[in-house]
Amino acid sequence: MDKDGNQPKDRWIAGFSRRKTAKMTRGNTVDLYFEGDVAFDAMADAIRSAKIFVHLEMYLFFSDVVGKRFAGLLSEKAREGIPVRVVYDAVGSIEASDGMFEEMQKAGVVVEVFRPVAPWRKRSGILGRNHRKNLIVDGRVAFTGGVNLGDDWSRAEMGDKVWRDTHMKLEGPAAAACDYFFRETWKKVGGCGLPEDGHFQMDQEGPGKSDCMVVGGGGIAKGKAIRRLFSEAFEVAERDVAMTVAYFIPPRVLLKILRKRSTEGVNIEVLVPRDSDVAVADWLREGLYPGLMKHGIKFHEYLRSVLHAKSIVIDDHLALVGSSNFDYLSISWNWELAVVIDDAEVVTKLREQYAIDLEESETVDEQSASARPWWRRMMSWIGASIIRHF
């Protein structure tokens, strides 16, 4: 606490929100979802209730049962005369059917593709994907987190193979902040016609009790926003940090900060999948175990299914939830969205889910790490040697 009575987190949030990459909002209501189907139902209800506009930017928008359900909902709303704008990522949604998007356009949905992989097209490219999962309705309510529009997140479609993820609903001025970053994306893809004002303004205090700072990173100008968010969040931790991340391949600067804070007495625990959907990411992560465990950082591997959640809990009051993985691409290249939530009740709910996830996990120790197949340990060693130079 400083001479003015401010906690380190207050100074950090105030300083960060002054940058163009972050918008501070007050008086929000935050609902967390740990089951994809529950999140999908809430998102569907919000779309049906739209009176002003629907804005969606999505990394994975598949043409499966879930994807077609939302394509239908968005089309139905557009036929009612409500402006509906959609941005999907060309790489993330590469398996989606062109016909699905064409049918949406026929219904009146304005659809744009983010960075098509075609050099002859405007705004094309490979690196710097739009990895956000951002739905805003009327500037009143927004949904963001790790859940994409696909069957992998639906227990009804996948059964026990459903992915474990974390998503959330923000009601209040934080929804306007999420829409601010959508409009940034819309400009990037060459979209036009965004005259509608939403229900909330970013500087308006809402009726809820959660203070939320919405952070948008992406592109050359804002490429360091997410990295700065993570590094400064670790610096303000006083007691402990509990991370749930799908991919753990951070740049060298964040590895250094994690080791430093652990050495200074902050308890740092990381929950990762035993086997994610990207095998090479698992090998690279495992190569980082020895150096970090030596400094007291604990790792737990989730066993039930693919763990895709992205959340960090800091002490008793701060939480980070969003689309960004804890890897080099998300931190340095991709367009991401993260929300810092200052609310003890939200932190409690995330910690409760963390405890539930730990029941279906195994703690990594020297013996279990050395029991991996020799080829996997070799790949991990090689990968970690490369990562330490970036």
Domain range list for the chain: 8-246+308-359
At 195, is the pLDDT very low, low, confident or very high (cuts 50, 70, 90)? Answer: confident
Q: How far is residue 50's CA from residue 32's CA, in Å, rounded to a whole number?
A: 21
- Whether 230 and 314 have beta carbons less than 8 Å apart is answered as no
Token look-up 């070799």 returns: 378
Would you state the pLDDT for residue 7? 62
Would you state the pLDDT for residue 375? 67
pTM over 0.75: yes
Residue 388's CB is within 10 A of a number of other CB atoms, namely: 14
- DSSP, residue by residue, 177-239: HHHHHHHHHHHHTT--------SS-TTS--SSSEEEEEEEEBTTTBTTHHHHHHHHHHHH-SS
The domain made up of 8-246+308-359 has a fold known as Endonuclease; Chain A (3.30.870)
Helix (H, G, I), strand (E, B) or coil at 51: coil
At 1, is the pLDDT very low, low, confident or very high (cuts 50, 70, 90)? Answer: very low
- Whether 131 and 92 have beta carbons less than 8 Å apart is answered as yes
At 3, is the pLDDT very low, low, confident or very high (cuts 50, 70, 90)? Answer: very low
